[in-house]
Amino acid sequence: MNILEILFFALSALAIISAVMVLISKNPIHSVLWLILVFFAISGHYILLNAQFLAIVNIIVYAGAIMVLFLFVMMLMNVKKDKEPQKQLWVKLTGVIAGGSFLTLLIALVKQNTSFQGRDVLLKDGSIGLIHPLGQALFTDFVVPFEISSVLFLSAMVGAVIIGKK
């Protein structure tokens, strides 16, 4: 077992355990903090895949901006942890069973598929995740979607302000 496999399994275990903790922690603030840990584990996976630009963007945008927004809203609302309503036990059980059968179905489908067998993912090598090729592709082939996304941000900003002012 080389160092890359050890890193892969450690990051996977961290991501899955933190994702489960997001669900089962009673205090919503703790849920947000666990979700930040999930995002850091996913960024570690990106670095392992040598997608360095996406790793940094994931940390800045998700762990930095979006989760701070969540924390901010949660502290504005001042939600008490004992006030949070719980679903009945059978609803929770049904949800877990439904999600588990969904997971089992998808794993069975992937196991059956022969086109994934013997295909390997290139770890730590390859230059497509670096900032130079990505920037070149973004400003030549994908320049129109890039400009349209600025319009999307403008409309999101206007929409958030209008909703917040009511």
Partner 1 sequence: MPIEYYIFLCLTLFSIGVIGVLTRRNAIIVFMCIELMLNAVNMLLVAFSKMNYATAQTITPNTTAGIDAQIFVFFIMVVAAAEVSIGLAIIVMIYRNTHSIDINFLNRLKN
Interacting residues with partner 1 between 85 and 144 (CB under 8 A): 85-87, 91-92, 94-96, 98-100, 102-103, 106-107, 110-111, 116-123, 126, 128-129, 133-134, 137-138, 142
Closest CB 56 distance from partner 1, rounded Å: 11
Considering only residues 145 to 164 of the shown chain, the ones binding partner 1 according to CB under 8 A are 145, 149, 152-153, 155-157, 159-160, 163-164
Considering only residues 65 to 84 of the shown chain, the ones binding partner 1 according to CB under 8 A are 65-66, 69-70, 73-74, 76-77, 79, 84
Note whether 58 binds partner 1 by CB under 8 A: yes
Q: Long-range contacts made by residues 26-34, C-beta under 8 angstroms, separation at least 24? A: 26/81, 26/84, 27/81, 28/74, 28/79, 28/81, 28/84, 29/71, 29/74, 29/75, 32/67, 32/70, 32/71, 32/74
* Residue among 36, 41, 94 nearest 65 (CA): 36
Interaction mask 36-55, partner 1, x per CB under 8 A:
--xx--x--xx--xxx-xx-
- Out of 5, 6, 10, 75, name the contact with partner 1 by CB under 8 A: 5
Q: Long-range contacts made by residues 75-81, C-beta under 8 angstroms, separation at least 24? A: 75/29, 79/28, 81/26, 81/27, 81/28
Note whether 10 binds partner 1 by CB under 8 A: no
Structural contact between residues 21 and 34, judged by C-beta atoms closer than 8 angstroms: yes
- Out of 32, 33, 80, 90, name the contact with partner 1 by CB under 8 A: 32
Closest CB 98 distance from partner 1, rounded Å: 6
Residue 101, φ and ψ in degrees, nearest 5: -70, -35
